[in-house]
Amino acid sequence: MVALSMVPFLGTVGFTASTSFSPYNYKRQISIQNAPFSFPRNEFSSSRRLLRAWPQSCLASGATGGKLPAEQSEIIFIGTGTSEGIPRVSCLTDPVKKCPVCTKATEPGNKNRRLNTSIIIRYAKPSGRCNILIDAGKFFYHSALQWFPTYGIRTIDAVIITHSHADAVGGLDDLRDWTNNVQSSIPIYVAERDFEVMKKSHFYLVDTSVIVPGTAVSELQFKIIPEEPFVVHDLQITPLPVWHGHGYRSLGFRFGNICYISDVSEIPEETYPLLENCQLLILDALRPDRSSVSHFGLPRALEEVRRIKPKRTLFTGMMHLMDYEKVNKNLENLAESEGLDVQLSYDGLRIPITL
Ligand SMILES: [Zn+2]
Ligand SMILES: [Zn+2]
């Protein structure tokens, strides 16, 4: 693993939202508090070095994980792919056409191998590190199976939901392993509209009185969040409302000076001020050539990067047309021509941060 001295923390930029909001609980009350936080300022060249350094040391040689000091926060990408996953089964069974990206993705450790988009924020507090999961989609179990042991992740201290599509919430049932065997319950932060969906799609998790007595399902504490800042284990989270297809709302989230927007087709004007002074932008980019009705394609995502002007951008939510090596090589040219620090993320990528 890379020594922490290589992590180029060059300074600190403070960020404090003007308002905060405590979400109300659906089932139980827990106490939550405010806290200020900040993020290190990465210079362009330094952050590029960091992006290249981690995979070589942590992941390529068998993904042994390695330990960071307890006071070091980090993000781990546990999934960076679109809903059906990469490789696509249909590509591997196609008798006529050989899909180059899906073929590469069958190789263990290949960076084109992608599960449903999701990250874990490992927030270092004096009392210990909190693991805050954003989304638990259909392939959550497989992501957790691969990365939790690798990075020594034991608890899930909170889940935050971007929206209620299956690739964001399809794995909530799998959280039973944690609430049966690791911890008593998991708080889950969700917008009212998505909670209404969950009352149908996951009715037995919302109302556990319907299950057969003696059986054990995920014990989730649902907490309804509006489009206002809220606090999770002392970490202030600001929702970033976006459109994910016409008339369908999804949430990105800002924590410190990091902005995460995984499912977006349009950013409303009122959300742009929330993206100012962004150090690290994690942004939806489905395919290399064009956008779809519900996701940015790479050209549109790059337009947004030019407008938002983050220090560094990592794209996520890529489908099988996004070849990790080829696309990243092209993106490197933008560093020379425009000074843009933009790259594709990949499953297992770990980024040290300060909050
Ligand atoms: Zn394919
Ligand atoms: Zn979606």
**Tens-place pLDDT, residues 67-84:** 677 789 999 999 999 999
Q: What is the pLDDT of residue 67?
A: 67
For residues 122-139, give the mean pLDDT: 95
Whole-model pTM? 0.83
Contact, 143 vs 116, CB < 8 A? yes
Give, as one character, the DSSP assignment of residue 289. S
Mean of pLDDT over the chain = 85
Which ligand number lies closest to the CA of residue 284? 2
Which ligand number lies closest to the CA of residue 116? 2
Which ligand number lies closest to the CA of residue 98? 1
Q: Which residues surround ligand 1, an ion (CB under 5 A)?
A: 88, 91, 99, 102, 320
53 has pLDDT over 70: no
* Chain segment 135-174, per-residue pLDDT in tens: 999 999 999 999 999 999 999 999 999 999 999 999 999 9
Q: What is the pLDDT of residue 1?
A: 36
What are the residue boundaries of the structural domains of the chain, listed by start? 4-353
Classify residue 33 as exposed, middle or buried by CB count within 10 Å of its CB (0-12, 13-18, 19+): exposed
Which ligand number lies closest to the CA of residue 293? 2
CATH no. for 4-353: 3.60.15.10
Contact, 186 vs 177, CB < 8 A? no
Closest by CA position to 320, among listed 85, 94, 93, 119 = 85
279 has pLDDT over 90: yes
Q: What is the pLDDT of residue 212?
A: 87
Relative to beta strand 73-79, strand 118-125 is antiparallel
* Chain segment 16-42, per-residue pLDDT in tens: 333 344 454 444 333 223 333 333 333
Closest by CA position to 57, among listed 3, 112, 113, 108 = 3
For residues 309-314, give the mean pLDDT: 98
Contact, 156 vs 139, CB < 8 A? no
Ligand 1 centroid – CA 105 distance (Å): 9
Q: What is the pLDDT of residue 282?
A: 98
118 has pLDDT over 90: yes
Q: What is the pLDDT of residue 65?
A: 58
For residues 242-264, give the mean pLDDT: 98
Contact, 22 vs 231, CB < 8 A? yes
Helix axis angle for 324-338 and 298-308, nearest 10°, is 30
Ligand 1 centroid – CA 87 distance (Å): 6
* Chain segment 320-354, per-residue pLDDT in tens: 999 999 999 999 999 999 999 999 999 999 999 98
Q: Distance of CA 349 to CAs 78, 142, 240, Å?
A: 8, 16, 23
Q: Which residues surround ligand 2, an ion (CB under 5 A)?
A: 165, 263
Q: Which residues of 265-303 are buried (b: 16+ CB within 10 A; e: fewer)?
A: bebeeebeebbeebbbbbbbbbbbeebeebbbbbebbbe
Tokens for 275, please give them: 């993206």
306 has pLDDT over 70: yes
Tokens for 196, please give them: 């209404």
Q: How many residues does the chain have?
A: 355
Contact, 272 vs 307, CB < 8 A? yes
Percent of the chain with pLDDT over 70: 81
Closest by CA position to 54, among listed 85, 77, 86, 81 = 77
Q: What is the pLDDT of residue 23?
A: 52
5 has pLDDT over 50: no
Tokens for 227, please give them: 């489009």
Closest by CA position to 315, among listed 275, 346, 270 = 346
Among 39-53, 61-75, 270-284, the minimum mean pLDDT is found in: 39-53
